């Protein structure tokens, strides 16, 4: 509500400048806080300092009564905990009422990923004689080779690529940098695109930019543009899957673990701060192992199969 607009504005500025949070993350924080402010207004609470454990329990009850999922409730608690931690730091409140609230354990959705045959089909549809075909192939190869987020992909600069060592400098969340290797197929796609297709795209704008991926007009490609590229590749391959950049990230992680990579290495390559974020991919590999076992072992099959 309006009475908390000053605090909300200060928190959003903190997220942008100090935390370097993505617009997507900020949007969720803002929505969660505004929803909480509506609740406070309904309860005639006009001072953030007045929020205590009893008010928090009432709010959580309200959320569950409205049938929010455990994952949604956990996210809202996390947002509010961060907000009050910020207020504490700035001495706007004395204590964080969300500090000791346990996050409800939600159901982990097993991330979707592509199988080898699906990848091969996607890798075969781009016209490598055209600038956009070369660019699209490079996007696909690089997303699969590195497991980058879409925002990290669009932020890649020419100087971030070390062909001699086969390494890419990735600028991740919170301005954290990491080096990620890339293999032969990605290297070939990169060299072809940089030496040919990218130069032809750049000629269309006459712009002076070191951004790796350009759009059809020769300007830096956006995250939305990358999503559109992947959708068009799926359409061209006559496939029925839904492909988004994060699915390529899921595929990278899943295939690495399936081929024997250890969890810590995959965590570092993905740029995950906590190992728990990476562990969800072990559910994929376990699910795959169980599926293969149950469908292959003679004494594992059900009688009605």
Active-site residue 283, yes or no?
no
Annotated catalytic residue within 76, 135, 255, 272: 272
Q: Say whether 246 is catalytic.
A: yes
Catalytic annotation, pick one of 16, 19, 81, 173: 173
Contact in structure between 163 and 157 (CB atoms under 8 Å): no
User: Rounded to the nearest 5 degrees, what angle is found at the Cα of 23, between the Cα atoms of 18 and 25?
Assistant: 80
Q: Is 149 a catalytic residue?
A: yes
Catalytic hit among 246, 247, 283, 288:
246
Q: Identify which of 94, 89, 63 has the alpha carbon closest to the alpha carbon of residue 76.
A: 63
* Residue 211 DSSP label: B
**Token pair recorded at residue 211:** 């951004």
- 272 catalytic? Reply is yes
| Residue 255 annotated among the catalytic residues of the structure | no
> Other CB atoms closer than 10 Å to residue 55's CB: what's the count?
15
Instruction: Catalytic residue, from 76, 121, 149, 250: name it.
Output: 149
Contact assessment for residue 226 and residue 157, using Cβ atoms and an 8 Å cutoff: no
- Residue 151, CB-side half-sphere exposure with 13 Å CA sphere: 12
How far is the C-alpha of 217 from the C-alpha of 203, rounded, in Å?
Answer: 9
Residue burial 120-138, b: 16+ Cβ < 10 Å; e: rest = ebbbebbeeeebbbbbbbb
What residues does 297 pair with on adjacent strands?
Answer: none
Please confirm, yes or no, whether 198 is among the known catalytic residues: no
Catalytic pick from 75, 76, 135, 249?
249
Asked if 253 and 278 count as a contact pair (C-beta separation under 8 A), the reply is yes
**Catalytic (active-site) positions:** 149, 173, 246, 249, 272, 281
């Amino acid at each position: 509500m309006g009475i908390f607009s000053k605090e909300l504005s200060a928190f959003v500025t903190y997220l942008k400048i100090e935390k370097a949070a993505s617009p997507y993350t900020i949007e969720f924080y803002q929505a969660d806080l505004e929803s909480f402010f509506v609740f406070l207004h309904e309860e005639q609470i006009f001072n953030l300092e007045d929020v205590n454990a009893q008010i928090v329990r009432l709010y959580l009850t309200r959320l569950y009564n409205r049938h929010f999922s455990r994952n949604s409730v956990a996210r809202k608690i996390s947002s509010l905990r961060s907000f009050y931690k910020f207020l504490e730091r700035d001495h706007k409140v004395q204590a964080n009422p969300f500090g000791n609230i346990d996050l409800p354990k939600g159901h982990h959705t097993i991330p979707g990923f592509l199988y080898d045959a699906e990848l091969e089909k996607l890798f075969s549809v781009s016209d490598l004689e055209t600038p956009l075909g070369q660019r699209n192939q490079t996007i696909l190869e690089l997303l699969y080779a590195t497991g980058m987020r879409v925002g990290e992909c669009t932020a890649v600069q020419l100087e971030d690529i070390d062909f001699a060592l086969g390494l890419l400098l990735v600028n991740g969340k919170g301005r954290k940098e990491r080096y990620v290797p890339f293999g032969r197929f990605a290297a070939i796609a990169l060299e072809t695109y940089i030496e040919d297709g990218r130069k032809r795209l750049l000629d269309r704008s006459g712009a002076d930019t070191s951004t790796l991926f350009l759009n059809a007009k020769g300007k830096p490609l956006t995250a939305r543009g990358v999503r559109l590229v992947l959708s068009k590749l799926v359409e061209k391959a006559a496939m029925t899957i839904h492909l988004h950049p994060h699915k390529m990230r899921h595929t990278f992680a899943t295939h690495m673990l399936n081929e024997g990579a250890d969890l810590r290495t995959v965590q570092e390559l993905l740029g995950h701060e906590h190992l728990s974020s990476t562990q969800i991919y072990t559910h994929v590999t376990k699910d795959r192992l169980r599926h293969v076992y149950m469908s292959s072992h003679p004494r594992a099959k059900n009688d009605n199969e």
